[in-house]
Chains A and B, each alone.
Chain A
Amino acid sequence: MAACTAQNLGVGVGLRIPHYAHIFEQWPAVDFFEIISENFMVAGGMPLRNLDRILERYPVIQHGVSLSIASAEALDFEYLARLKALCARTGTPWLSDHLCWTRAHTHQYHDLLPVPYTREYARFIAEKARIAQDYLELPLALENLSSYVTFRNSEMTEWEFYREVVEQADVSMMLDVNNVFVSSVNHGFDAGEYLRHIPYERVLQVHVAGHSELPDGLLLDTHDNYVKEQVWELYRTVHARTGGVTTVLEWDAEFLSFEETLAEAMKAKEIQQAYAETD
C-alpha cells in the first residue's frame, strides 16, 4: 500500500444553499464543509456572511471550477489573486480544481471540458499547474473529470495523462471515484486498471457522488443521486490503497435534507471504520 501522506480530515459534504437553514439552527456534527470557491468570490452580501458563520464552527476546504488549467490561454492572475484572498479568509488546507479547460479565447464555457491525452499537452498543463501552485502558496490538487468524448490524437490513457501532469507539476490529486466510474463506462475501460496506476501518495482528497444514466447508456456526472454501489466499491479500493483520505460527498441538485445527505456521506466513514476493524 502506497501510504497517503496527506492529513485525513475525515468525511465532509458540499456546503449548499438548501441546507443553510438546518445548519444554522442545528449546527450538526460534520468534520468539515467543502465550498465551491467561485460562489464566494464576491464583494459582499449574504454569501460571505453565511461563509463567515460557517467558518466560526467548521473547517472549510475549497474546491473550484474556473481555474481552467488545461486551457491554451494563459493563467488568469486576476482570478488567482481573488482565489488566493478567499483561501486566506477560509484557511483552507489545500485547493482543488479540475484537470480541464473552461475557457478559450475570451469565452467562458462554465463547463469542465476534456483535452486529448498527449505528452505535449501534459507538459504544457503541468507547467501551468506548477506556476498556479507556487502563486497560491497552498497545495493544489487536480481532479479527474467525467468525460463524454475522447480524441483521435490521444497518445496515452487518461490515467497515464493524469499521473504525468501531477508528477511533472509536483501537485496533488483530488481523486473523484464517481468520475472514474462514469468515464470507464462511457469510454469502455476498466476502472480497476485506472486505480492501479494512481500514485496514492499524491492523493489529498477523494470525491464520491451520484450520477445519471441516459437511455443510450451514457452516464452523466449529475451529482443528483445516491452514490452507486460500484462507486462505493472503487472507494473501498482507494481506501485500501491509502489507509484513509479526506472524503467529500458531492450532491448538487435534487437535494435531500441535510440529515439524509450527511447519512449518505457517512457511508464513507463506515467503510473506513470497517477497514480499521479488520486491520
Chain B
Amino acid sequence: MPKQIKPPASLKVLQRDFGSAISEPFEFGESGAFRCQTERYAPEWLAQVEADRVAVYNRQYWFRLLTVMQEEYPLLEQMLGIDAFNQMVSAYLDCYPPDSPSLNDLANHLLEFLAEHEPWREDLAVCQAAELETILAGAFIAGEEPGFDPLALSEGDRAAIGSRVLRLQPYVALFQEEWSLYETRALLKLAEGREAVPSPAREAGWWLLYRDQSGRQAAEALSASQYQLLAALAAGHPLDQAISRVESTANEQDRAQLGSSIQGWFAHWVQLGIWTV
C-alpha cells in the first residue's frame, strides 16, 4: 500500500465531533414521534451557529438508515408497528453504528442485537421474523458457485456419492419457523396497505429459500423430513449420514417409503440448482 500522509489532528477532532452530533439518536415521544436533540450539537466549529443546519444532517442520517431498514424488514415493521420498529432500529444502530461503506451491511448485527436486548429477546416471533428477512436480504446479493449435477458424475463417483459432502449455493438457505412468517411477508410485499395483512399465525413451517434461474427470490415449503435432511447436509454431514439421521427419526411406515422419496427430492433439488461442488 502506498504510504499516506498523516491527517491534520484538527480534522480528526472535527469529524469526530460532527459525526457524533449528526448520529445523535432522535428522542422518541409517547406518541412515537421523534425530534432531533439539537441542544446536544456543538456549534463552536460552525460559522453559522444554527442548530437547525446540523439538524438537517441529523435528520438525513436517521431517515436514510430507517428507510433502508424499513425496506429490508417489512415483516418486522408490521409485527412491531412502525413507531416501535423505528425505536428498535434506532437502539440497534446506536449500539452497532454502521461500519461498512455498503448499506447492504447495515443489519449485519441485528440478530445479535435482538438476542441480547430486552424486550425483543423474549419475543421469539420477532427474532424469527428478523432471521427470515436477514436471510432473504443476504440471498438477494449472494454470489454463485459452480453448480453440482450428479448426472455429470462418472460412474465411480456416482457410486460413491453417499460419502460426498454436498454444499448449498451461497444464495440458498433453510428456515424453520413457528409462525407463518414467510407467507405473511409474501402477502405484505404484494399488499397495497400493510394493515390489510393479518399478523402471522402460530404455525410451524420449514422453508427452502433460494434464487430461481432468473435470479429472483423463490421459496418452497418443506416437510419436516426434507428440512431435517437438508439441514444435516448444510451442516457438513455426508449424504449417507444425513439420510441415516432422517431414517432414524422416521416411523416404520415412512421409513419404508423414504428411499424413493429421497430420490425424488434430490432430482427436484438438482433441478432447482441449489447445490454446488
Residues of chain A at the chain B interface (Cβ within 8 Å): 38, 41-47, 49, 66, 68, 71-77, 79, 101-111, 113, 115-116, 120-121, 124, 127-128, 131, 134-135, 148-154, 216, 218, 220
Contact = CB atoms under 8 A, between A and B. Distances in A.
Nearest to A48: B141
B252 interface: no
Given A107-B19, A218-B53, A45 B65 contact: no
A111 B22 contact: yes
B53 A148 contact: yes
Given A105-B16, A148-B53, A150-B48, 15 more contacts: A41-B102, A44-B144, A45-B171, A45-B211, A46-B141, A66-B101, A79-B101, A109-B19, A116-B14, A127-B4, A131-B4, A135-B2, A148-B56, A153-B10, A220-B56
Given A111-B60, A111-B61, A120-B8, A42 B97 contact: no
A216 to B, nearest CB: 7
B54 A149 contact: yes
Nearest to B19: A104
Nearest to A71: B15
Interface in B81-100: 97-100
Contacts of B256: none
A45 B172 CA distance: 12
Nearest to B211: A45
Contacts of A153: 10, 45
The 7 closest A-B pairs by CB, nearest first: A43-B143, A66-B101, A42-B141, A104-B15, A72-B7, A44-B143, A72-B12
A115 B65 contact: no
A44 B22 contact: no
B215 A46 contact: yes
B191 interface: no
A44 B46 contact: no
Contact of B170 (A44, A72, A77): A44
Contacts of A111: 22, 57, 60-61, 64
B52 interface: yes
A151 B46 contact: yes
Contacts of A68: 101
A121 B8 CA distance: 7
A124 B8 contact: yes
Interface in B189-235: 211, 215-216
A107 B94 CA distance: 11
B104 interface: yes
Contacts of A77: 1
Interface in B1-50: 1-2, 4-5, 7-8, 10-12, 14-16, 18-19, 22-23, 44-48
